């Protein structure tokens, strides 16, 4: 069928008054009017550090992600800084022999993550370091805190006391931001008070403020061994992490962290919770971080490996969506790959 055979063919159609396609006509015009961009400087690279001198150990469920010894960690940090990435988030892989129900290794001044902070700060001082404040890498049961005497729940106040002491050790080692990911009540205020009292008023707090009890964390738990510590991949953290169904509760928690002295707020996971990210952006003037978590990363890779999605285009679109929703900073396992691609094409942003 040609146009002449269509009903009404030959009749003059009114010209559109507005033509939005004019600003999509060429790539140059599209670049000029693009509202959202992602640059290497917007990204924080999560890195896993392990004991020993063995070669990098791949994380099976996260293609391109490795557990690194200290020397390899420093080399990786140098490479990331050269690509324009400004920050890293460190996560230790604690040997099982050092884990116990109280997570006491977290308070060891010579523990792995503190040695990693010192090594990275000595080698690449310009990198901004974020260190995780939670007990799940150190507990034999895999929870983010110590358990109540009957073992049925995490003891909020006892955990917060430990986390406050832990934050001071991290500040002493040289971290720029402590990042409490535990979701205990009152922990931001306790960390701020402990840091200030110990003489570290310049150490910042990146609060995992809207952290949901998500199914997307599985590959991360494999990477650090927290699920394996408990003998399960199905740790139930719903008594402290947020209900995925609750929007108002998430915003209230985040604003509480702001009132307690957080410097940065976070939404985690990022992609499935863009509505929360947008609403928090509108509710707070603080910088907002979003964590594109291990499950988000893994599902994009898995679909790409099957040929169902274009890896690079899907990666870039997912990160643009997180920025568009309101994130100032994005923690993502795609950080190095994106920065590498931008450098290779002399591009400055997606």
Does 268 participate in catalysis according to the annotation? yes
Q: How far apart are CA 195 and CA 172, in angstroms?
A: 10
One-character DSSP codes across 223-240: HHTHHHHHT-S----TTT
CA nearest 59: which of 227, 273, 308, 307? 227
**Rg of the chain over all Cα atoms, to the nearest angstrom:** 23
Say which of 50, 99, 237, 268 is annotated catalytic. Answer: 268
Neighbours of 246 (CB within 10 A): 14
Say which of 99, 211, 237, 336 is annotated catalytic. Answer: 211
Which residues partner with 47 through β-bridges? Answer: 90
Does 336 participate in catalysis according to the annotation? no
Q: How far apart are CA 181 and CA 166, in angstroms?
A: 13
Q: How far apart are CA 120 and CA 326, in angstroms?
A: 30
Cis omega before residue 269 (within 30°)?
Answer: yes
Determine the 3-state secondary structure of 89 from DSSP.
strand
Active site residues: 211, 268
């Amino acid at each position: 069928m040609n146009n002449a055979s269509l009903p009404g063919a030959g009749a003059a159609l009114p010209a559109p008054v507005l033509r939005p396609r004019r600003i999509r006509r060429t790539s140059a015009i599209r670049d000029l009017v693009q509202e959202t961009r992602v640059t290497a400087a917007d990204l924080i690279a999560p890195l896993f550090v392990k004991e020993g001198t063995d070669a990098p150990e791949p994380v099976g469920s996260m293609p391109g992600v490795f557990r690194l010894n200290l020397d390899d960690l420093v080399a990786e940090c140098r490479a990331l800084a050269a690509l324009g990435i400004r920050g890293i988030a460190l996560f230790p892989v604690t040997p099982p022999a050092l884990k116990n129900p109280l997570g006491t290794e977290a308070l060891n001044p010579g523990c792995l993550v503190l040695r990693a902070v010192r090594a990275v700060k000595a080698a690449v001082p310009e990198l901004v370091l974020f260190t995780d404040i939670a007990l799940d890498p150190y507990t034999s049961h895999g929870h983010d805190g110590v358990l109540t005497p009957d073992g049925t729940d995490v003891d909020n106040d006892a955990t917060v006391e430990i986390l406050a002491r832990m934050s001071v050790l991290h500040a002493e080692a040289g971290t720029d931001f402590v990042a409490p990911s535990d979701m205990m009540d009152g922990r931001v205020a306790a960390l701020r008070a402990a840091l200030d009292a110990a003489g570290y008023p310049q150490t910042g707090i990146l609060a995992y403020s809207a952290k949901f009890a998500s199914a997307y964390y599985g590959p991360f738990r494999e990477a650090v061994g927290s699920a394996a510590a408990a003998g399960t991949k199905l740790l139930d953290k719903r008594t402290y992490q947020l209900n995925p169904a609750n929007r108002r509760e998430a915003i209230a928690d985040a604003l509480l962290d702001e009132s307690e002295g957080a410097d940065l707020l976070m939404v985690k996971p990022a992609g499935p919770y863009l509505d929360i990210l947008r609403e928090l952006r509108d509710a707070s003037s603080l910088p907002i971080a979003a964590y594109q978590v291990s499950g988000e990363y893994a599902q994009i890779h898995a679909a790409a490996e099957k040929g169902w999605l274009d890896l690079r285009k899907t990666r870039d679109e997912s990160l643009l969506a997180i920025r568009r929703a309101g994130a100032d900073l994005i923690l993502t396992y795609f950080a190095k790959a994106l920065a590498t691609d931008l450098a290779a094409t002399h591009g400055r942003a997606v």
